[in-house]
Structure 1
């Protein structure tokens, strides 16, 4: 049992080093959400956020993960399965080069009783190890469950009505989860069929029906906007802006005075303001698209000295996230190109450090199986286009403090699908 625990600890260390997010004891809920998404995208297996939190010791759990979970972790770490990981990472004691051969008396052959005892002990250890590795919930038949949803309006906030059938559940632990965020997991009655939830932020979500800790049904869910929407991010419920408070003739942006009118302080922690346009244009295929825009972060006081900014293309899969900052803060950035995640802690992202005293032009385009990113006309990064079909459904911008956007353009297969501001 001790060796299995050590092997799991080593596997977690390999994953932590691969991610480059720093020590896991400093990870937040969003980090486990992102890890869950990355694992599913790479392996095709869904490990819930709560499972990952248990594995990393955030909640009490006295058993080793199931064999399926261990195989998935090993695959994400870069091995074929858990057995291959264990085999290739088993420590080997080096030979003692300085030892002098010596003659020792051969031990007396053991009695048959001792042999029987040893054989019994070996069987017990092997069976115990197998039980420890395979212990977990029995796999449920997913076809026995149904799950669908619909939005009640177009815009945010927005209520979503879930219709489900979990009557086949062997337990009362039936949950509906709004997205990958397990803090949005709600216990529902397995004998009922309706549940409603409020979505306070637009975007693409993966709603889940969960029995115990198994996802038995899930589907993508689009929460769109009525044109452009803006909000100031807050811990519980965002503060929404009226269109006249951020829509301008030459673009979008808001002022410090409007933020202060909402009784939100800009110091010591500047708010994150977000702009969205989701579900208002024909979806663009990720394999052949081009996107461009210009942004400017207009606030650099106090704790906002890094001028952290992001541009995101929201898809029906994982997003594209292009971060920007003042030149001295690129270590804090994380670039995401659907399946590819690059941390500023582990790679040189200096091309994403910019001078926000001028408008910054950001573009990306896919062709020939590659997505290429450029800042002010200079290509900076390139990543492969995922092999599965993915569509761009929305755009989003975020500024720590205040910021502006103009000249947003999205084309699909050479045809314009969205031009604004």
Structure 2
């Protein structure tokens, strides 16, 4: 059976993580990680942020590299693992793990054994009888491996779950942020305890095993919508939506994509001007000397169609901020089945532009997105128009982007506006094109 990843005791996972750290050390090229000082960690943080837009503190990097001792080995979350893998040339952590997870991590002792075995084979190959016996045992081993593979495939197929046979159930899928949700399995008939299930909380937590009659409790700290997946033998078989709701527009911030500091205790902000000062950020515990994100969120249920709506707002960013070469502005429309996301930067930073409209994705690092760039330090009116799954992006009434998608994102459950650094959003509004109902 395929093993399920565990947070603390998956020895093989940490071997692969160590291999990733070794490749990062080789890429940095200056000196061994064991000799790194604060400047080296800051240099890696800067390069990692420029390439992946994920910034990690010195202590976080030390925990990843095993240089900061903790009671149990630090387990990076999904967004961090993806960023580390992308930094060394992989698409994401899953690709890096698939390529390296089952390949032997060769040690000097293993190399020595290999050399001895090779010499032994060369020596015995001079003897005809020994060579024939070696071929016999090799054929027998191959036959045995084929039989074991067939048996494993048969056993795995016998454990396949029929569609709808097992579903993920949440007792309280909607709640105010922060939110503690309780999950369990709902199934038809008798289900073996040996079946391997796990819950993927996406960026909000590690993949967590769940048994047939077990409850799993997960804490969600950020306003937003998470599409939680049920895995069976690492294959998604069900998805449910959990929303961390707000009372109007609220602000939170963090020094990377994983941490979050509620601003003004997540009290509602005036809609006509969404803004938080540096003194408010400092009071929330944010380190202003490092790159940081600010998110304005409005999360609640609605009947607004996520495939037919108009969103508009005035947005403005800072001119610049130490450690940030490209100021970014993002708009996220969160639906019950999916989401839309637009990330906009100034023309000189077009490589960091990207858009996700349901299943359709494009990134400036692999596609020319110069036409959707704009310097929001000047301020600008943005309008995102989605009509029958066809998307148009306007800035100052100028058409910047046309796209289309096929998979519905369902009803709109939330809006998020993100800035890296201090930004302001004025009078954001969204309404259904058919019913004219406002979100």
Q: Same fold (TM over 0.5)?
A: yes
Q: Which residue of structure 2 aligns with residue 392 of structure 1? A: 412
State the TM-score, normalizing by the size of structure 1: 0.64
Query: 2:281 maps to what in 1?
Result: 259
Note if contact 1:163-1:195 (Cα within 8 Å) is conserved in structure 2.
yes
Q: Which residue of 2 aligns with 1:55?
A: 98
Distance 1:205 1:148 in 2: 14
* In the alignment, structure 1 residue 354 sits paired with structure 2 residue 390: no
Is this contact kept in 2: 1:374–1:380, CA < 8 A? yes
CA distance in 1, matches of 2:386, 2:367: 23
What is the deviation of 1:378? Answer: 1.1
Deviation (angstroms), 1:342: 1.2
CA contact (8 A) 1:151 1:160 kept: yes
Q: Residue 239 of structure 2 corresponds to which residue in structure 1?
A: 218
Do 1:410 and 1:416's aligned partners in 2 also have CA atoms closer than 8 Å? no
Partner of residue 155, structure 1: 176
1:94-113 alignment runs, 5 A limit: none
Cα root mean square deviation, aligned: 3.9
Tell me, in whole angstroms, the C-alpha distance in 2 between the residues paired with 1:245 and 1:292.
Answer: 23
Q: 1:145 aligns with which of 162, 166, 169?
A: 166
Alpha-carbon offset, residue 311 of structure 1 = 0.9
How far did 1:388 drift?
A: 4.3
Change in Cα spacing, 1:258 to 1:202, as seen in structure 2 (3 Å) is: closer
Kindly report which structure 2 residues correspond to 1:22-33, keeping only aligned pairs within 5 A, or say none.
Answer: 29-30=78-79
* Structure 2 residue matching 1:140: 3-state secondary structure: coil
The aligned counterpart of 2:429 is 409
Matched, 1:250 2:272: yes
Output one character per residue of 1:215-268: Cα deviation in whole Å (capped at 9) or x when no partner.
Answer: 34332223322222221125665110126878247311111122122332223x
- Does the 8 Å CA contact 1:32/1:53 hold for their aligned counterparts? no
- Equivalent residues in 2 for 1:282-301, closer than 5 Å: 282-286=303-307, 288-298=308-318, 300-301=320-321
Going from structure 1 to structure 2, the CA distance change for 1:203 and 1:306 (only over 3 Å counts) comes to same
On the 8 A contact 1:330/1:353 being kept in 2, the answer is yes
Shift of 1:289: 1.7
Pick which of 330-339 and 127-136 moved more.
Answer: 127-136
Contact 2:253 2:262 in 1 (8 A): yes
**Structure 1 residues 401, 395: CA separation in 2 closer, same or farther (over 3 Å shift)?**
same
Q: How many pairs are equivalent?
A: 319
Q: Where does structure 1 lack aligned partners over 5 or more consecutive residues?
A: 1-21, 35-48, 63-116
CA distance 1:31–1:169, change in 2 (3 Å): farther
Query: TM-score w.r.t. structure 2 length?
Result: 0.62
Contact 1:144 1:168 in 2 (8 A): no
Is 1:315 matched up with 2:335?
A: yes
Question: How far apart are the structure 2 equivalents of 1:313 and 1:145?
Answer: 30
Contact 1:305–1:326 at 8 Å: present in 2 too? no
For residue 338 of structure 1, the aligned residue among 355, 358, 381 is: 358
Using the TM superposition, name which of 214-223 and 400-409 deviates more. Answer: 214-223
The answer to whether the 8 A contact 1:409-1:418 is kept is yes
Within 5 Å, give how 1:375-386 maps onto structure 2. 375-386=395-406
1:306 Cα deviation after fit: 1.3
Offset at residue 403 of structure 1 (A): 0.5
Q: 1:325 aligns with which of 330, 345, 363?
A: 345
Query: Which of these residues, 349, 368, 372, is aligned with residue 392 of structure 2?
Result: 372
**1:311-349 deviation line (CA, Å, top 9, x unaligned):** 111112332111122331121122212222111122222
Cα distance change, pair 51–182 in 1 and its aligned pair in 2 (3 A): farther
Which structure has more helix as a fraction of its residues? Answer: 2
Structure 2 distance, partners of 1:244, 1:211, is: 37
Structure 1 position 414, deviation (Å): 4.2
Q: Does 1:171 align with 2:194?
A: yes
Alpha-carbon distance in 2 for matches of 1:318, 1:31 = 22
Go from structure 1 to structure 2 and tell me whether the alpha carbon gap of 1:163 and 1:352 turns closer, same or farther (over 3 Å shift): same
Name the CA distance, whole Å, in 1 between partners of 2:98 and 2:309.
Answer: 39
Q: State the partner residue of 1:204.
A: 225
Q: Which runs of 5+ in 2 are unaligned?
A: 1-50, 53-76, 84-91, 105-135
Q: 2:210 aligns with which of 188, 199, 212?
A: 188
